Amino acid sequence: MKNPLSLALLAILALGVAPAAFAQERTLSYDTATEQTVLVVQRVQPAVVNINTERIVRQQGQDPFDQFLNEFFGRSVPRGGGGEQRRGSQSLGSGFVVSADGYIITNEHVVERASDLKISVSFPDGTTYDAKYIAGERQSDLALLKIEPKGGQPLPFIDLAKPSPNYLGQTVLALGNPLGYTSSVSRGILSAKEREVQVEDVRYKKLLQTDTAINPGNSGGPLVDLAGRLCGVNSVRLSFTPNRQPVQGIGFAIPADVVSAKFDQFRKAGESRRSDGLAGGGGGSKPPSEATAGSAAWKYFGLEFQSVSNDLAKLFGLPVESGVLISDVDIAGPARKEGVKRGFVVYRVGRTEVTEPRDVEKALSGVKPGQEIDFVVGLPSGSIPGVRGGQQTATITLLARDPSKAAK
């Protein structure tokens, strides 16, 4: 009895078809449209949005926070030079819809600079919406936005109630808008879980690690498995080792279970503000965090502070034990009116030397509306061309405002 393989070859030869041609025919018949990756992208991508700002700003040189955060977070920022700059619509990052009625998850660092910005989101089909900031926090690096669907039509969304099991080694896809290239997809594996990453003064815990390419602009976009289920939210990429050696293939995402819990928390916070008659970030403006809004520095002067970490000290050319960094300024506050900007360093409040935000709060305990307080302010490296950080200080007298006029 002849071998079945021999019979098959004889049949092919009898038909006048060469084995090579037979193999080629089999290859050409492969349908790429049925690949699991293709099907998942087609299903998930309609829910992924690009987050933009619409603003025109005037500033001296590059914003120091943009320069620093660009090394860690997926953010595309312009290179600053000396003199005045005007900046129009700018892509900040990505996000994705998590409910048919228009709630959107993104990273807090994507929208944290939006106190005086208008936030808009655009879908892959080109449809654009104005978005409202509902709530967010730096500790989790998550934020919640809201849009109103046009015509009352339900929006495509990624279901937070059906997360991925997140097995090590499983294939994952990162969707977003890196470097302004909309609707991009990258593929990799889930490399590790329960990672911790320190960025500035915040330690992010329980992160997922992946070798999927996460570039500036990917931040806030979804990381999904091959069933289209949410693994996490792309957040941080490691660009350099502590000794400034370049790194590739190490990115981090916030796990889906954390995202789901924060979504419920943020949505309830937004509903509570509306029931109290407070604006929930109307028109896209971002209210201060609860911690900031409750501080004396914010209530009376419109200032938010953070510690000067080792990385920030190196960046700004400052001694690490010296001063506190201004991380946010209320656009309607006394400090902003006197020309105080983000990135400035405060060394003394009244007669008190300050090295931590809590020192500022102690110095301002008992302050009254209408009271004048002296702030000794230094300029970080690069804030003003030709002036080195720590070499120039100025005493700025600020008049404490009525706390009821502070941004909510």
Residues of 162-188 as b/e, b for ≥16 C-beta within 10 angstroms? ebbebeeeebbbbbbbbeeebbbbbeb
Task: Catalytic residue, from 63, 141, 225, 359: name it.
Answer: 141
Across the beta sheet with 103-106, what order do the strands follow?
128-130, 118-122, 48-54, 90-97, 103-106, 142-146, 132-137
What pLDDT does 263 receive?
95
Question: Rounded to an integer, what distance in angstroms lies between the CA atom of residue 186 and that of residue 192?
Answer: 18
What pLDDT does 315 receive?
60
What pLDDT does 4 receive?
56
pLDDT tens digits for the chain (408 residues)?
556 555 555 555 555 555 555 555 555 678 899 999 999 999 999 999 999 865 434 344 444 444 444 444 444 444 444 433 444 446 578 999 999 999 999 998 888 755 445 789 999 999 999 999 888 887 888 999 999 998 888 999 999 999 999 999 999 999 998 887 888 999 999 999 999 887 765 778 899 999 998 888 889 999 999 999 999 999 888 766 666 677 778 899 999 999 999 999 989 877 765 554 444 444 444 555 555 656 899 999 999 888 876 666 666 666 666 788 887 888 888 998 888 887 788 999 999 999 888 899 999 988 999 999 999 988 654 444 443 444 467 889 999 999 887 765
Residues β-bridged to residue 233 = 222, 254
Residues β-bridged to residue 269 = none
CATH number for domain 288-405, candidates 3.40.50.720, 3.30.750.210, 2.40.30.10, 2.30.42.10: 2.30.42.10
- Kindly report the length of the chain: 408
Question: Rounded to an integer, what distance in angstroms lies between the CA atom of residue 274 and that of residue 280?
Answer: 7
Task: Catalytic residue, from 91, 164, 184, 219: name it.
Answer: 219
Task: Catalytic residue, from 94, 109, 191, 285: name it.
Answer: 109
What pLDDT does 21 receive?
55
What pLDDT does 221 receive?
95
Q: Is 208 helix (H, G, I), strand (E, B) or coil?
A: strand
297 HSE (CA, 13 A, CB side): 27
Question: Rounded to an integer, what distance in angstroms lies between the CA atom of residue 114 and that of residue 133?
Answer: 9
Let me know if 31 is a catalytic residue: no
Let me know if 141 is a catalytic residue: yes
Residues of the chain with CATH 2.40.10.120: 35-287
CATH number for domain 35-287, candidates 2.30.110.10, 3.40.800.10, 2.70.98.60, 2.40.10.120: 2.40.10.120
Residues β-bridged to residue 396 = 375
Let me know if 359 is a catalytic residue: no
Residues of the chain with CATH 2.30.42.10: 288-405
